[in-house]
Structure 1
């Protein structure tokens, strides 16, 4: 595990500490959870961009698939 020193304005640290206390956790745990959420968001965005790049030039095919998926099922 790595130790990380972060410099924050005093008022921001006090607010983070109050938030952590309100959630029943340490500031360290709060920051760890925030980092986890941000990394998950970044990973999702990266996957979305990669898929969008693979689909370039295939817009008509994608729209046809959407149309097929939204059509009522055959009896």
Structure 2
């Protein structure tokens, strides 16, 4: 496992601590969750672009639907 140091404004740090507490988790786990979601979206977009370049419209549209569902879950 790697260590990452980030700099945040104090108010943002406090809000993230409150968010983590409300979810019953640590800030570290909160950032693991955020990064996992960001990477999943990146992977989906990358696959979409590859399939779009090949001209597979049906599969590309299915990936767009999956991306929309992923964004809908983030909005909750």
Is the structural similarity TM-score above 0.5? yes
Cα distance between partner residues in 2 of 1:39 and 1:21? 24
2:28 corresponds in structure 1 to 28
The CA deviation at 1:54 is 0.7
Detail structure 1 runs of 4+ shifted over 3 Å in the superposition: none
Cα RMSD of the aligned pairs, angstroms, is 1.6
Q: What TM-score comes out, normalization by structure 1 length? A: 0.73
The CA deviation at 1:17 is 0.6
Bigger RCO of structures 1 and 2 (CA < 8 A, at least 6 apart) = 2
Tell me the alpha carbon deviations over residues 10-47 of structure 1, each in whole angstroms, 9 at most, x when there is no partner: 11111111000000000000000000000000000000
The CA deviation at 1:50 is 0.5
The CA deviation at 1:2 is 0.4
Map 1:50-65 onto structure 2 (within 5 A): 50-55=50-55
Tell me the alpha carbon deviations over residues 51-75 of structure 1, each in whole angstroms, 9 at most, x when there is no partner: 00111xx77xx6xxxxxxxxxxxxx
Cα distance between partner residues in 1 of 2:52 and 2:34? 27
| Structure with the largest fraction of helix | 2
